[in-house]
Every structure is written in structure tokens, then in C-alpha cells.
Amino acid sequence: MKKMKHKGILIVVSGFSGAGKGTLMKQLVHSYDNYALSVSMTTRNPRPGEEEGKEYFFVSREEFEEKIAQDGLIEYASYCDNYYGTPREYVERQLEKGKDVILEIEIQGALKIKKKFPTALLMFVMPPDAAELKKRLEGRGTESQEVIEKRLKRASEEAEGIEQYDYIVINDKLEECVEKMHSLVQAAHCAPSRNEERIENMRKELEALN
Amino acid sequence: MKKMKHKGILIVVSGFSGAGKGTLMKQLVHSYDNYALSVSMTTRNPRPGEEEGKEYFFVSREEFEEKIAQDGLIEYASYCDNYYGTPREYVERQLEKGKDVILEIEIQGALKIKKKFPTALLMFVMPPDAAELKKRLEGRGTESQEVIEKRLKRASEEAEGIEQYDYIVINDKLEECVEKMHSLVQAAHCAPSRNEERIENMRKELEALN
């Protein structure tokens, strides 16, 4: 990760709770074969139905702090007395293989990543409008009114940072949105900074022909 | 054009002679309905088969200089005693309508545009390799060996400026390349700076819900 000369792109996806990030990312990974989904590590207890290595890697506080000490996380944060972080090894290995690696992180973590890895691609997923967001949060049927209100408040706070993202993606129709996210990644691959070798080769070849 | 608050994107396409820009742009405009192709103005004489308003607007030196005096061109340059320039009115009108306007300009003009309109999207079209470029130039069968050599020399010079473009596009398979160019424009539409109103609305809506 030191030089970020990998072919793969580090993609950070943020967005309001209820914006549909999870579904989008699953569909993206399913539809195209260039993606790898990073799984976060946490010290919180698994919820019913959550599987080790799928939603999270569940570890003890001691294990997590050892990871931190080893510089084994590319970012981490603490919420409500629990740690959450992104294991470095998986991300690095996939980027080296040329995979585009997707991290789902909230805005503070996203900005940390951007600082450490300026070539990371930051996307913010938004519902078409706030009413739709509320409807989706309520539609889940699993959350109390209090939780919904807390999330709307949090959304309002997160909305302050949208301009710091490279792109916003409106999650209106799933398929279109997945295609758009893929377009953004394809576009990033076309930046001159990601094609230095190709440009250099073209120059040498042209020199040789002249 | 003053504030560049148009919905449309100003797209500048450059690339080596023989890279296939013309075909690509025609196909792009044909395949999607959000594009408008800008036609340049020149003082050079029409070549056989060239039509007024299609390849160029053909005007007298006096007319061209009057356009310059009226600030009626967004960029212009002089080559081999002839003027070439981009009429402002058509570009502005199309951008205001929300069209993405494509200009084909060589590298000096492209960099002038970028300076004047920092939100312009600059694409550099490249053949897969230099040998392919030479083959394509020779394949036209219409150019003398001298002209081909001149173009290869020019390509070598232009290659020095590739890093100043936002994107490079490899013209290998026509359809794929057209799709890629379209992706780049779609991506540009997802930048927060092009969605200020939407972001502002979302913030207001969230405030109202909280």
C-alpha cells in the first residue's frame, strides 16, 4: 500500500443509513468480476443471523488492539464502546491482484482513507429524496421510531460532508445505479495517473517510429 | 458561459491524427441523445467533399477577425496562415439546454479551454499502440509518406501533454470505446459540484424531517 501503484482501485462507499448501500454493493460484486468486498473487523457481538467473515470479522478487544499495534488496519474508529476497522491485509492483497476493492465506511472513516490514500475513489449514495429515505427506514419495520429519528438526525449531519466525496450516486433504480457505480470505477481507470506505463510505452514507440 | 452553471458538460476530445476521433464522436452522438457536436469555424478553403456547417463553417478572414473582436469564439488558433476557432454561441446554447457539447481540438486549444472553463472534461484518444497508429495512417491510403511522417512526429510532440488530460481513452474496439467515453461523461455528471441544487434540497428536506 505504500506507493499505491496497484492496478486495483480502492473504493469507499458511504451514504445515509437506509440509502440502500448494502444491496447496491452486493449487486455490483455480483454483476461484474473486477470487485472484491472488504469485510470490516469489530469488537461488537454478532447479531442473530450475522456470520463470521460475512457481515464482520468478530474479534475480542485484545485481538483488535493487537491489530492496531501491528498497523494491521487501514482505518479504525470507536463507536459506543466498540471498535470497527478495515483489515489491511485483505485490501492490499486484492488491490495487488488488480481487483477494485470496495469498503463501506461512514463519512469520518471515508475522509481518513482519502487522506491516507489520495487516489481512493469516494462515492456517496443518496436516495432520490429525504421522504424516500424516511419511507425506506420505516419500511424495514425492524427499527423503533427512536432509532429512525436518530438515523435521520445522523443523515442530516452526514449530509454536511457530501462535497468531500468524488461522486454522488442517486439510488433510484437499482440496476441503473449499479451501472452508474461501475461507470465511475471504469472512469477512474482511465485517469492518466493510472496509465503511466501505457503512456510511457506509447512515447517510446512513437520515438522509435520517428 | 460566465458562471458555468449549465447542466451540460463541455467535452474536449483530442488525440493523435489517425487515432479514430472522428468515427468515435460520430458514433457517440449517434448512440446517445445527450450530445451535441460543435463545428469549428475556419478561414481555410473547403476540400472536395467538405460541406459548409458539417466539417467546418467556412468564412473569410474578415469575418473570422470580426468574430474574434466580438468575443464570439471560445478559443481560436492560427495554423499555416489559416484561422481555426470554436464559435461560442452554439456551444453556449447547447450547454444551456443541458446538452453535453463535444469539441474536437488539438492539445494547445484543449489546454486553453481547460484554463477558461475548469469544469470542462478533457479526453485524449489513443490507439492501442504506436504501430497500430502508423498502420491506420498508412491504411487511409490518401496521405503521402511525408505527411504520415509529419503526423507521427506531431503525435510524438502531443504525447508529451497527455497527463494534462482528465482521461485517456484507448480506441481498440469502437463500440467499447464509445461506451467508455459515455461512462466518463456520466461520471462527470455525478460530481458534487454538478449536483449542488440536489444536495442543498436534500439538506433542507432532512432538516424539515428532523
Amino acid, single-letter form, for residue B108: Q
Contact criterion met (CB < 8 Å) for B153 and A210: yes
CA distance A104 to chain B (A): 19
pLDDT of A147? 81
Query: What tens digit of pLDDT does each residue of A96-131 get?
Result: 999 999 999 988 889 999 999 999 999 999 988 888
Cα→Cα distances A69→A43, A63, A65, A87, Å: 16, 10, 6, 12
CA distance B27 to chain A (A): 19
CA distance B51 to chain A (A): 33
Nearest Cα to Cα of residue A166 among A199, A207, A135, A125: A125
B176 touches chain A (CB under 8 A): no
CA-CA distance, A94 to A105, in Å (whole number)? 18
Mean pLDDT estimate for chain A: 90
Nearest Cα to Cα of residue B107 among B15, B171, B21: B15
Whether the model clears a pTM of 0.95, i.e. scores above it, the answer is no
pLDDT-derived band at B3, boundaries 50, 70, 90: very low
Query: What tens digit of pLDDT does each residue of B4-59 get?
Result: 456 899 999 999 877 788 889 999 999 999 999 999 999 999 989 999 998 899 99
A207 touches chain B (CB under 8 A): yes
**Per-residue pLDDT at B210 exceeds 60:** yes
Contact criterion met (CB < 8 Å) for B210 and A163: no
Cα→Cα distances B148→A210, B21, B145, B172, Å: 10, 17, 5, 20
**Per-residue pLDDT at B1 exceeds 50:** no
DSSP A7-59: SS-EEEEEE-TTS-HHHHHHHHHHH-SSEEE--EEESSPPPTT--BTTTEEE-
Q: Choose, out of A148, A206, A207, the residue to mutate when testing the contact with B (most B CBs < 10 Å).
A: A206
Cβ A19 vs Cβ A126: under 8 Å: yes
CA distance B93 to chain A (A): 27
A153 touches chain B (CB under 8 A): yes
* Closest chain B residue by Cα to residue A153: B210
Contact criterion met (CB < 8 Å) for B192 and A131: no
Query: What tens digit of pLDDT does each residue of A18-74 get?
Result: 778 888 999 999 999 999 999 999 999 998 999 999 889 999 999 999 999 999 999
Contact criterion met (CB < 8 Å) for B187 and A191: no
* Cell 481507470, residue located: A189
Query: Which residues on chain A are in Cβ contact (under 8 Å) with B191?
Result: 166-168
* Closest chain B residue by Cα to residue A160: B203
CA-CA distance, A61 to A101, in Å (whole number)? 26
SS (H, E, C) chain B: CCCCCCCCCEEEEEECCCCCHHHHHHHHHHHCCCEEECCEEECCCCCCCCCECCCEEECCHHHHHHHHHCCCEEEEEEECCEEEEEEHHHHHHHHHCCCEEEEECCHHHHHHHHHHCCCCEEEEEECCCHHHHHHHHHHCCCCCHHHHHHHHHHHHHHHHHHHHCCEEEECCCHHHHHHHHHHHHHHHHCCHHHCHHHHHHHHHHHHHHC
Query: What tens digit of pLDDT does each residue of B100-151 get?
Result: 999 999 888 899 999 999 999 999 999 888 888 888 878 767 778 888 888 8
DSSP A117-137: -TT-EEEEEE-SSHHHHHHHH
- Look at the alpha carbons of B147, B153, B155, B157 in this order and tell me if their dihedral is positive or negative: negative
Contact criterion met (CB < 8 Å) for B192 and A165: yes
CA distance B23 to chain A (A): 20
